[in-house]
């Protein structure tokens, strides 16, 4: 399985941009295109629907040695056997939790990624024991229209202060990718710029070529 340190392109299977019955084919295209890690994000779907989609995706990502991340649903990640679960700041800290170990036992292989939108949040997430961080949204994005962009300055702060793996996320496309990399990011999450592309595999490849 690819390690986080090796990972550069974090791709998504997001039901806001794809039909439930196509998640397996999208997973294949993402893996073939060079995605290093893939998250299943299914806002508005039931726990059962998410589990069924994860069960379709996991054999494909496992065969490609690509870690699968389940967004929000820790119990589904645990039951299906994915490598990671991802939670937002609000989902984790606002509920009163302070340490990832409060949710995941030391003997479990499952690990957790956390989002961050500001320096204090990034520091807190590192101290909580996150395996990796998502940093953003860098730019305005329809994926989270209500979220205020943090801009490139935050990418520079992350590069100077955070040594663990972190991924820039939010509105990243091929046109602004050079600016994101120039600000200090080395790993990026890409959602709509890949999933809305005419050819998902080729879109992945185009991003990956810029990240090596």
- pLDDT of 49 strictly over 70: yes
CATH 3.20.20.70 is held by the domain 9-211: yes
Three-class DSSP labels, the chain? CCCCCCCCEEEEEECCCCCHHHHHHHHHHHHHHCCCEEEEECCCCCHHHHHHHHHHHHHHHHHCCCCEEEECCHHHHHHHCCCEEEECHHHHHHHCCCCHHHCCCCCCCCEEEEEECCHHHHHHHHHHCCCEEEECCCCCCHHHCCCCCCHHHHHHHHHHHCCCCEEECCCCCCCCHHHHHHCCCCCEEECHHHHCCCCHHHHHHHHHHHHC
pLDDT > 70: percent of the chain: 98
Give the mean model confidence (pLDDT) for residues 129-150. Answer: 87
- pLDDT of 80 strictly over 80: yes
* Mean pLDDT taken over the chain: 95
Instruction: Write the pLDDT tens digit of every residue in 4-37.
Output: 999 999 999 999 999 999 999 999 999 999 999 9
By C-alpha distance, which of 43, 36, 74, 68 is closest to 55?
Answer: 68
pLDDT at site 145: 61
- Where are the domains positioned within the chain? 9-211
- pLDDT of 144 strictly over 90: no
Tokens of 71: 């967004």
pLDDT at site 10: 98
Which of the four pLDDT bands, split at 50, 70 and 90, describes residue 91? Answer: confident
pLDDT at site 58: 98
């Amino acid at each position: 399985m690819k390690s986080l340190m090796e990972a550069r392109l974090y791709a998504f299977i997001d039901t806001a941009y794809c039909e439930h019955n196509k998640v397996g084919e999208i997973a294949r295209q993402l893996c073939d295109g060079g995605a290093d890690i893939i998250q299943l994000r299914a806002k508005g779907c039931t726990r059962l629907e998410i589990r069924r989609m994860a069960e379709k995706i996991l054999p494909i990502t496992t065969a490609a040695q690509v870690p699968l991340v389940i967004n929000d649903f820790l119990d589904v990640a645990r039951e299906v056997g994915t490598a990671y679960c991802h939670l937002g700041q609000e989902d984790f800290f606002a509920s009163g939790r302070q340490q990832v170990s409060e949710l995941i036992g030391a003997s479990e292989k499952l690990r957790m990624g956390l989002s961050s939108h500001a320096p204090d949040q990034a520091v807190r997430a590192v101290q909580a024991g996150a395996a990796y961080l998502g940093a953003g949204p860098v730019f305005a994005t329809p994926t989270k229209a209500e979220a205020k962009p943090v801009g490139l300055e935050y990418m520079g702060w992350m590069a100077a202060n955070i040594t663990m793996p972190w991924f820039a996320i939010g509105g990243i496309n091929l046109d602004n990718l050079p600016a994101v990399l120039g600000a200090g990011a080395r790993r990026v999450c890409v959602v709509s710029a890949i999933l809305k592309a005419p050819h998902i595999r080729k879109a992945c490849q185009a991003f990956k070529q810029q990240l090596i």
